[in-house]
Amino acid sequence: MRVLLSAWGSRGDIEPMLALAVQLRLQDVAVLLCAPPDFAEHAARIDIPMIAAGQSVRDLVHGVKSSGIRPSTPVDAPRVAAALVASQFETVAPAAEGCDALVATGLMPAGQRSIAEALGIYYACVAFMPGVLPSLHQTPLPRPGRPFPPNASNKVLWEVDAERVQALYGAPLNTHRAALGLPPVDNVRDHVHTDRPWLAADPVLAPWPGSPDLDVVQTGAWILPDTRPLPTDLVDFLDAGSPPVYVGFSSVRAPEDVATVAIEAIRAHGRRVVISRGWADLAPIDDRDDCHIVGEANLQELFTRVAAVVHHGGAGTTTTAARAGAPQVVVPQIADQPYWAGRVAALGIGAAHDGANPTVETLSAALETALASEVSRRASEVALTIRGDGAAVAARLLIEAVERATPRA
């Protein structure tokens, strides 16, 4: 059996696919990954073959000053959407030839189901949080497009959400479908998700609220085990004093001066700081020995040794911190991050910062909540409930689905 995994997005979109790839390989399934060029090293580290697809996500999100490339804005959404669809048909389609299945995720994988349809292979679409899937029990995530009507019901909001997706992806997708002799699609969102989407999120952290229109397969989060040792200088720093507070915003654009704000807020609590450089290139604000900068590192190990984790609220970081039993302060920036902030607060395992731009005072107040002894106890309790077998469950389900879908000779 041969499976193509295709994702375009940040690390939170790619690393779970690598986790699935590892589990499929343990079942003697040949795996190929299509992902942005930013993640070639991540795939190579675990020996998963990868084809670079689409433009650099880092360049798109942060821009490239030396080349005059500015960060993308909502105004760029139609251009980005058309380029994304084109890259799928240019790169993913030939990669899928000879495969038995295509598993897709990331920023609206609009062309992936059409590619599978044209090749006659099994297709599954995966979400890493419930909020991208239509349900009357939740509201849609923000997208570029016409405004939501004031005081509208969730039903109306989801109808507008479908219109937004169609406006962005409908024309480029249907142009490629016509070239393949396939009929046009009038609801790209639901076409891509199918009526049986997969939800690769932990059921405690992110329960599916339910919908009569969708038969959601919730597998648990897809977690790639990280066995790398922590850098020696980081271990020395951790060993030299009490547990520090970690600060990191991973691949997103961080608020202006967030390093200064975070370090000062953490110092106000008498805590040391580990600051992750990330794609926003965060850095210490002075040369005091209570602050340590870290690049790429094993967060699964690091988070077991910190007093709290201050972060943007990505699905991967939230799950990693929750599994480690580390109290969290989520400072949400975009997309699904307010959802994860809300879940952290609702579970009592940390604090949700109100707004994307913290001050020393507001972040210090959130830290006071997260560093409380009862929150630490609650975080330890919840950690014991977080499943670690989601990728293994998904691998078995995928193999069974492909075998059922494949006609016997």
pLDDT at 67 over 80: no
Architecture of domain 2-223+388-405: 3-Layer(aba) Sandwich (3.40)
What pTM did the predictor assign?
Answer: 0.94
Asked, colleague to colleague, whether 2-223+388-405 and 232-383 share their fold, the answer is: yes
The residue to which tokens 């085990």 are assigned: 225
β-partners of residue 103 are 5, 124
Q: Does domain 232-383 have CATH number 3.40.50.2000?
A: yes
Task: Give the model confidence (pLDDT) of 364-409 as tens digits.
Answer: 999 999 999 999 999 999 999 999 999 999 999 999 999 998 765 4
Would you call 311 helix, strand, or coil by DSSP? strand
**How far, CA to CA in Å, does 345 sit from each of 130, 138, 221, 324, 340?**
17, 17, 19, 17, 9
pLDDT at 63 over 70: yes
> How many other CB atoms are there within 10 angstroms of residue 165's CB atom?
22
Indicate the domain borders of the chain.
Answer: 2-223+388-405, 232-383
- Compute the half-sphere exposure of residue 106: CA atoms within 13 Å on the CB side of its CA: 28
- Residue 301, judged by CB atoms within 10 A of its CB (0-12, 13-18, 19+), counts as middle
Predicted pLDDT at 408: 54
* Winning range, highest mean pLDDT, from 69-78, 277-286, 320-329: 320-329
Task: Give the model confidence (pLDDT) of 170-188 as tens digits.
Answer: 999 999 999 999 999 999 9
